[in-house]
Structure 1
Amino acid sequence: MTLRSRVVGMIGRLPAPSARPEVRRAVPTRMRDGVELLCDVWLPRPLDPSSALVLIRTPYGRDGMDLLARLLAERGHPVVVQSCRGTFGSGGEFDPFARELEDGADTLAWLSDQPWADRPISLLGASYFGHTAYSVIAADAGRVASVATAVTATDMHAAAVYPHGVFAPEMALMWIGGLLTQELPRLRRVRAARALQRRMPAALAAAPAAADRVLLAGESYPPYREWVKHDAPDDPWWDPLRRTGIRDRMPPATLVAGWYDPFVVGELDDHDALTSAGRDVRLVVGPWTHGSAPIATAVIRETLRALDGDARRGAAVWDEGLSRWVELPAWPPAAETRRLILDEGGSLRSEPRGRVDVRWTVDPSDLPPAAGGRGLNPDFAGRRNQRPREKRNDVQVFSTDALRHPLTLAGRASVRIATAPLAHSQDWFVRLCDVDPRGVSRNIADGFVRSEAGAAEATVTLSPSAFTVRPGHRLRLQVAGAAHPFHPAPTRHEERRLLSTSEARSILELPVIGGWGTAGGTLTRRMP
């Protein structure tokens, strides 16, 4: 045991260690095409024949998994950490998503020949290596006893590359920037990261077809070019990114998500599908962005519970309004729909008193800042003060009066926007916020849609949330005509018109419950 693993084990409230790990570095595993992938194999001593083996396949380096692997091995479980092809010494070329199914199957075959691997196999993964875990299940679900994934989804095309059917440049550019610099020597990596950070705003402002060259100082990244090229949602080119077919044969699963992570919509869609299919599934959702450190602790704790036969079901979700965890028997709880009308004077009311007819211009050279939300970039992702957005003329703001009673939201809100039909499509971005008694507004959830040309109405479904608006606080809705940098900036000046009249009302619909106790919830200060 190291000092670090001892401290993390205590902070994470993990079971006491029972073994001493032995590590075998850079063990070669041969794939069907002769390419060798490298593994680090962690074997606990003594080796308990009843323990499960944990398999992790990652493109981000085996060394980065050392602490996680040590914590699991110290508690009696063999761990295999494999570098995906073309990364960190593994042979071949890394072509994102292209070979994970075959390489996952070949890794299972290799494990079948190892004397220490004659035991149940559990998978663990996050983000891209959540996809590799799902690819192993797609290859042979019968070999997998359980899986724990975080900040990922079975459909990477819909969750990450083309959410809402529209390309996501911030996600793509942030990912390739990290990917292309991760194996550089430390000093060069730091310098390269700073250079990418300087070029990122210009890259995000560029047309998607040219953005990689802006970010990479004239160089292009071929996989990125393919992502932009294949923009049809039903293009079979995307099939390797889609693993939704495993949902009805998923082994017992733990899904760990963050309210401010780009994957939260896809991940909770997975949860709903698994629940509907009658699969065993545990959900944990915290106040996290994509790279938040507590995610790893949650994954390790839930994995050990599953491996030790103490797997929980239901859901543990963080309510930011109460600053409490809520343990629930199911997610989402049954909720009633409460409707608020976008009304005159920037009001949200249950009964309208007037009409709204507001117009503004979307200027591609002067767009609202992100100011938080579900992005990969830690510079602006998460829960943030909304003043930089709400002071602008191109962000429309509608607020309730101060609440007299708490209002608990559980699920996905939606907004129906009435507008004037135009000859071209229109982008709509909405954000739900909590405004404290001092007037500070912070984001809860957001959503985006690209309406079709000629549409007189657009419906935007927001990301899921579990949030209690306290008495004295107000609920606020922002409406904007662009979702940059999460989606491409418009290429020209565009007009937006928001209507809410007796003929066509714009309406916010909220999923409301009468407090967590009515849903069978239990509140705690610490993660359950």
Structure 2
Amino acid sequence: MSLAVQRVTPQPVPPHARQHMVRMRDGVLLATDVYTPGGDGPVPTVLARLPYDKNSRYVFFDRIAERFTARGYAVVVQDVRGKFRSQGRTLGWTGEVDDGYDTIEWITHQPWSDGIVGMFGDSYYGFTQWSAVSSEHPALRAIVPRVTCTGNGPGIAGYDTGAGPQPLWLEGATYQAQVWVDNDIHEFDLDLTRRPVAAAYEEAFAAIGKRSAGFDLIVAGIPLAPYNGPHPYDARPVPVLHCVGWFDNLGTAHMRDWTELARRPGWSAVQYLLADTIDHENYFLESAPVRPEDDHLADDAALDRMIDRYTGPAADFFDVFLKGTARPESLPRVRWRLGHVGWRTAESWPLPEAVETELHLADPAAATGPVPGGRLGTDPAPAAEAVDWRYDPDDLVPSAAADTFLQLRDHADERATLDRDDVLVFTTPAAETPLDLAGPAHAVLHVESTAPGYDVFVRLLDLAPDGTARLVLRGCAQADRPGELEIALGHTGYRLRPGHRLALLVASSDFPNHLPNSGTAESPWTTTTPKASVQTLRTGPAHPSRLRLTVLPGSGEPR
């Protein structure tokens, strides 16, 4: 039986939108919807350029447009080159600089446009915003990139977190195989346990009758250069509202953009941060695990509630930088949500009052046992110790979520993973008072392996008094020699409540989110006989394996 593939085709253009086929400089026509507010006179425009069908419920732009047009903005939504109703070659992360410039230029010549443009949107349509920044069109006055980054496409050289080599993100490869084949999207479920792993994708391409050029670049290890203009960091600064999710799978890369631009003259003055306790698909920590009536991907009332929270800050930002009807001082420079507590504001991030603390990994011999495992505390390990753990390609450590884009929808209990004998676990004592994490976190581990190349995955979990364990942060690294690995876990705003403990999990696989290591010099895509290996973690004065956290003073100190 061949693989079942569901083809997703364009939905109808809403009656309150007008579609235009907008010509790019090479003659390719891009399908572009326009929504205009009532009233007389030209107005500023909010532009989104995306590959997911501008008319689909998944991107719900008919409802988004209602919010922005009610605030006096025209809204333009475009299928990018090679997707849905637009012409051109289907290959993501290419051509967006020029197409962004040409689309903005077209907008400025329309009778409903006052010549001022802002951009808005998530993920890939955050990347198209950065591409438009690279184009340096003078009409682009502000952007609101959400849960995204300036880096390259998923799996094609990886999203750049600045953290060095990483295991290949298998979810990103699947995304390429489903979204970037042709104009449509092709949905299918793969058996990724088969060997070689590439064969599962070949079955999908055979069923579709076409290949994904982006996927083939991933397997070949060929990077793409996404900007044919300056990198956005080096482009003309425009005001940016970074909308970050503490639980977003691109959160580490997004916060790297924030941090890098904060160092750049010109950019630092026009950056704003909105950091919420959301995942990539805009599920909220306070609703997790999500009930059916709160699932905005399935329930229309939940979608309307979510859209108000989703568009409101962007409209306020555009009122300042597109319309000029509000002053910049009306916007908090940083607005962030402390998980389990609520919203706070600040002048900068990381917070000036936040302090760095280190928790040392100790008693590693206990780390392969059941929870509580080894110790995680402020006192350095007094003597050199080590512990081995295994990588078994036939018994891979399960990912924190089968789909990390939807991390908070199920917000899975990971206690069973903590109790596996092929992971290491280190825990703090139960908190006596609240501990507020507010800033970046890193795991610094001294590791070696019997394999020529190996992967290390780290998760920081909240271990509740009832034994449930839920993800707070995660990160990974790939190495080909023994030594110290510094693994970025991203930024967070999260309260560890009294009675709860932090648990640090260390593993050598994360399946199905990441491609399993071959354990040899063979490609993990094509190997049919991956090899098991043994990893060693070292602690003590000469090998100080530790967890580095940023915490608010006055909250409970880890012990």
Partner of residue 326, structure 1: 344
Partner of residue 222, structure 1: 213
Instruction: Give the alignment partner of residue 342 of structure 1, picking from 361, 365, 372.
Output: 361
Partner of residue 280, structure 1: 270
Using the TM superposition, give the Cα deviation of residue 504 of structure 1 relative to its aligned residue in structure 2, in angstroms. 2.3
- The 2-side partners of 1:251 and 1:276 are apart by 15
Letter of the 2:414 counterpart: Q
Using the TM superposition, give the Cα deviation of residue 358 of structure 1 relative to its aligned residue in structure 2, in angstroms. 1.6
Instruction: Give the alignment partner of residue 264 of structure 1, picking from 251, 269, 289.
Output: 251
Partner of residue 363, structure 1: 392
- The 1-side partners of 2:400 and 2:109 are apart by 52
Using the TM superposition, give the Cα deviation of residue 477 of structure 1 relative to its aligned residue in structure 2, in angstroms. 0.7
> C-alpha offsets along residues 38-77 of structure 1, whole Å, 9 cap, x if unaligned?
211112120344x411111122122132111122112211
**For the structure 1 residues 216 and 41, does the alpha-carbon distance in structure 2 shift closer, same or farther, using more than 3 Å as the test?**
same
Using the TM superposition, give the Cα deviation of residue 108 of structure 1 relative to its aligned residue in structure 2, in angstroms. 2.3
Aligned-residue Cα RMSD (Å) equals 3.0
Instruction: Give the alignment partner of residue 460 of structure 2, picking from 432, 451, 466.
Output: 432
**For the structure 1 residues 40 and 248, does the alpha-carbon distance in structure 2 shift closer, same or farther, using more than 3 Å as the test?**
closer
- The 2-side partners of 1:178 and 1:447 are apart by 25
Deviates more, 1:425-434 or 1:482-491: 482-491
Partner of residue 20, structure 2: 27
The SS at the match of 1:486 is coil
The SS at the match of 1:465 is strand
- The 2-side partners of 1:116 and 1:268 are apart by 36
Q: 2:291 aligned with 1:252, yes or no?
A: no
- The 1-side partners of 2:75 and 2:215 are apart by 33
Q: 2:213 aligned with 1:213, yes or no?
A: no
Equivalences for residues 128-147 of structure 1 within 5 A: 128-147=124-143
Q: 2:29 aligned with 1:40, yes or no?
A: no
Equivalences for residues 83-482 of structure 1 within 5 A: 83-157=79-153, 162-163=158-159, 164-166=164-166, 167-178=168-179, 183=184, 193=187, 196-197=188-189, 199-202=190-193, 206-207=196-197, 209-210=198-199, 212-216=201-205, 220-231=211-222, 237-240=224-227, 244-246=231-233, 249-277=236-264, 278-292=268-282, 296-309=307-320, 310=326, 312-320=331-339, 322-334=340-352, 335-344=354-363, 345=366, 346-351=374-379, 352=381, 356-372=385-401, 375-376=404-405, 378=406, 383-420=411-448, 422=450, 424-453=452-481, 455-482=482-509
> C-alpha offsets along residues 236-270 of structure 1, whole Å, 9 cap, x if unaligned?
x3344997434652311111121222211111111
**For the structure 1 residues 240 and 365, does the alpha-carbon distance in structure 2 shift closer, same or farther, using more than 3 Å as the test?**
farther
Letter of the 1:57 counterpart: R
- The 1-side partners of 2:465 and 2:91 are apart by 51
Check the 8 A contact 2:458/2:474 in 1, yes or no: yes
Partner of residue 520, structure 1: none
More helix by share: 1
Using the TM superposition, give the Cα deviation of residue 422 of structure 1 relative to its aligned residue in structure 2, in angstroms. 4.9
Letter of the 1:316 counterpart: R
> C-alpha offsets along residues 381-421 of structure 1, whole Å, 9 cap, x if unaligned?
77431113112111111111112232221122222222346
- The 2-side partners of 1:399 and 1:37 are apart by 53
> C-alpha offsets along residues 293-350 of structure 1, whole Å, 9 cap, x if unaligned?
5775444112210222245232222222x34222222211133222222111411122
Using the TM superposition, give the Cα deviation of residue 428 of structure 1 relative to its aligned residue in structure 2, in angstroms. 0.9
Partner of residue 13, structure 1: none
Deviates more, 1:67-76 or 1:482-491: 482-491
**Identical amino acids, percent of aligned pairs:** 27
Equivalences for residues 75-90 of structure 1 within 5 A: 75-90=71-86
The SS at the match of 1:340 is strand
Check the 8 A contact 2:459/2:474 in 1, yes or no: yes
- The 2-side partners of 1:33 and 1:420 are apart by 52
Check the 8 A contact 2:30/2:79 in 1, yes or no: yes
Using the TM superposition, give the Cα deviation of residue 125 of structure 1 relative to its aligned residue in structure 2, in angstroms. 2.2
Check the 8 A contact 2:384/2:543 in 1, yes or no: no
Check the 8 A contact 2:20/2:31 in 1, yes or no: yes
Deviates more, 1:66-75 or 1:218-227: 218-227
- Residue correspondences, number: 477
Letter of the 2:68 counterpart: L
Check the 8 A contact 1:155/1:244 in 2, yes or no: no
- The 2-side partners of 1:22 and 1:318 are apart by 38
The SS at the match of 1:109 is helix
- The 2-side partners of 1:60 and 1:257 are apart by 21
Q: TM-score, normalised by structure 2?
A: 0.78
- The 2-side partners of 1:181 and 1:225 are apart by 14
Check the 8 A contact 2:431/2:498 in 1, yes or no: yes
Letter of the 1:58 counterpart: L
**For the structure 1 residues 289 and 181, does the alpha-carbon distance in structure 2 shift closer, same or farther, using more than 3 Å as the test?**
farther
Check the 8 A contact 2:176/2:212 in 1, yes or no: no
Letter of the 1:363 counterpart: D
Gaps of 5+ in 1: 1-20, 185-191, 518-528
- The 2-side partners of 1:423 and 1:260 are apart by 32
- The 2-side partners of 1:389 and 1:206 are apart by 26
The SS at the match of 1:271 is helix
Instruction: Give the alignment partner of residue 533 of structure 2, picking from 477, 494, 517.
Output: 494
Using the TM superposition, give the Cα deviation of residue 489 of structure 1 relative to its aligned residue in structure 2, in angstroms. 0.2
The SS at the match of 2:344 is strand
Letter of the 2:256 counterpart: D
Letter of the 1:290 counterpart: H
Deviates more, 1:502-511 or 1:159-168: 159-168
Letter of the 1:306 counterpart: F
**For the structure 1 residues 379 and 472, does the alpha-carbon distance in structure 2 shift closer, same or farther, using more than 3 Å as the test?**
closer
> C-alpha offsets along residues 205-264 of structure 1, whole Å, 9 cap, x if unaligned?
754x55532444566322210133235xxx5x3344997434652311111121222211
**For the structure 1 residues 221 and 94, does the alpha-carbon distance in structure 2 shift closer, same or farther, using more than 3 Å as the test?**
closer
Using the TM superposition, give the Cα deviation of residue 95 of structure 1 relative to its aligned residue in structure 2, in angstroms. 1.8
Check the 8 A contact 1:364/1:489 in 2, yes or no: yes
Q: 2:59 aligned with 1:59, yes or no?
A: no
Letter of the 2:170 counterpart: P
The SS at the match of 1:269 is helix
Using the TM superposition, give the Cα deviation of residue 355 of structure 1 relative to its aligned residue in structure 2, in angstroms. 5.6
